[in-house]
Structure 1
Amino acid sequence: MYTEDEMLMLSGIQHFMFCPRQWALIHIEQQWADNKLTAEGNILHQNVDNPFYRQKNGDVITLRSLHIASKELGLYGITDAVELLPSDSEEDAITHQRYKGYWKPYPVEYKRGHSKPDERDEVQLAAQAMCLEEMYGINIPFGALYYDEVKHRETIAISDHLRKTTRQCAVQMHDIFKSGKMPPAIKKHHCKNCSLKDICMPEMTDCIKVSTYLNKNLYEDIT
């Protein structure tokens, strides 16, 4: 169990899955830069993250911007949305002071693009589900990812595999944060889409020494 002083931001687990170095630049060195993709994501969440907006669609109630945390994972954050689905039983359900009956929480995470080739989005959703489970003593078997670019919602099973991956990521994040050491830059095909590329300089991994990097990049630009 982690203490309050050891808690890390839950949203960082998606950055960590994308690239541990990107996560460390943001959460250890406090570096940030926007590009087209991050700006579009900010616009999307301006419309989603309204804690005073509750939408009722039939029997389903949608709560926005809930504060959640898990001492097991050592993570805290704010959800995009948690849908409350009506339940006939109190098993794995919660009560709400404004709404009668029992409700099963169903986390929904909003993303600007489309589904990814890895599990970075699924792990963030799983971390949210695991926070809610710990807070309310329930089990949440499913959640959803909504991709704004394709206007499509994907149902995600919060499987044992996904939970294990989420726990492993959380442990690694805490280990790196505690050490204060930056992970090495590892060039990947998606580096070109990273807003921190110019800060990270993954090209340095191809260079044996600084003079080689300068000859390859700076001096070519001058000439």
Structure 2
Amino acid sequence: MDDELIPISALQHFLYCPRQCALIHIERQWAESRHTAEGRLLHERADSYRRETRKNVRTVSAMPLLQPELGITGVADVVEFHAGNGREQAFPVEYKRGRPKRHRADEVQLCAQALCLEHMLGQEVPAGALFYGQTRRRKDVCFDPALRKLTEATIGETRAMLASAHTPIADYDARRCDACSLIDLCQPKWASRGHHVAQWLQDQLED
């Protein structure tokens, strides 16, 4: 793990579940599921760098992002540049497989992209959008002070966890855990009861 930069995607993982974030970004574990496969297919169109202009909107796909002062880096799915008032206004768009969530993890990920764009372009980025594959609709997101504060706090908390190189103990929640592609690797029901990995391995050998 780089001491200076953390991936923007880690912020979304952390807010969804700190243990999931640690499994992916500390232990380098991953598992494909139907949901992650659908998400990967949704991103394919935006994952190769290209530029196009339609009706005064210039669109850049797979745009590299960096904010060295906050220590974050990543790639924006799409950044739209809307012409007006003599200059272009950046508007990031992040693609998601499912539908709008109750938590704000997706919004924090998008806000972090905006913070990078503000640093890179020297302009305020007041809003962006999340495009959800299930609804086929955009959800506009305003980068207000509360969301910016949450995003910067999440950056600090994520950085501290990754620097510790410690994977948090599982805290099983059916709605969150049962939808996670890492559930078989995480074993949240079992691990949340305080069992040790060595005992789990022994149980598997005995079975």
- Shorter-chain TM-score above 0.5: yes
Deviation at 1:209, TM superposition (A): 4.5
1:64 paired residue among 61, 65, 87: 61
Where does 1:73-92 land on structure 2 (aligned, <5 Å)? 73-89=70-86
Give yes or no for contact 2:36–2:181 (8 Å, CA) kept in 1.
Answer: yes
Q: Is 168-177 or 200-209 further displaced after alignment?
A: 200-209
CA deviation profile, 1:3-43 (whole Å, cap 9, x unmatched): x7420111111111110110110000100001000000111
Aligned residue for 1:117, secondary structure, equals coil
Does residue 1:191 correspond to 2:177, yes or no?
Answer: yes
Deviation at 1:134, TM superposition (A): 1.2
Deviation at 1:136, TM superposition (A): 1.9
Give the equivalent residue in structure 2 for 1:19: 17
Deviation at 1:206, TM superposition (A): 4.9
Q: Is 110-119 or 4-13 further displaced after alignment?
A: 4-13
Rg: which structure is higher? Answer: 1
Give the equivalent residue in structure 2 for 1:202: 188
Segments of structure 1 that go 5 or more residues without pairing to the other structure are 90-101
Aligned residue for 1:79, secondary structure, equals strand
Aligned residue for 2:171, secondary structure, equals coil
Deviation at 1:181, TM superposition (A): 0.9
Aligned residue for 1:113, secondary structure, equals coil
Where does 1:142-161 land on structure 2 (aligned, <5 Å)? 142-161=127-146
Aligned-partner residue type, residue 185 of structure 1 = A
Distance in structure 1 (CA, Å) of the matches to 2:147 and 2:107 = 8
Where does 1:106-145 land on structure 2 (aligned, <5 Å)? 106-145=91-130
Give yes or no for contact 2:59–2:79 (8 Å, CA) kept in 1.
Answer: yes
CA deviation profile, 1:149-183 (whole Å, cap 9, x unmatched): 11101111001111111111110111111111111
Deviation at 1:49, TM superposition (A): 1.5
What fraction of aligned residue pairs are identical, expressed as a percent? 38
Distance in structure 2 (CA, Å) of the matches to 1:135 and 1:59 = 22
Give yes or no for contact 2:38–2:97 (8 Å, CA) kept in 1.
Answer: yes
Aligned residue for 1:110, secondary structure, equals strand
Aligned-partner residue type, residue 146 of structure 1 = F
Q: Normalised by the size of structure 1, how large is the TM-score?
A: 0.84
Distance in structure 1 (CA, Å) of the matches to 2:64 and 2:16 = 24
Q: Normalised by the size of structure 2, how large is the TM-score?
A: 0.90
Provide the aligned length of Structure 1 versus Structure 2. 200
Aligned residue for 2:178, secondary structure, equals helix
Distance in structure 2 (CA, Å) of the matches to 1:191 and 1:71 = 33
Cα RMSD, aligned residues only: 2.0
Aligned-partner residue type, residue 68 of structure 2 = K
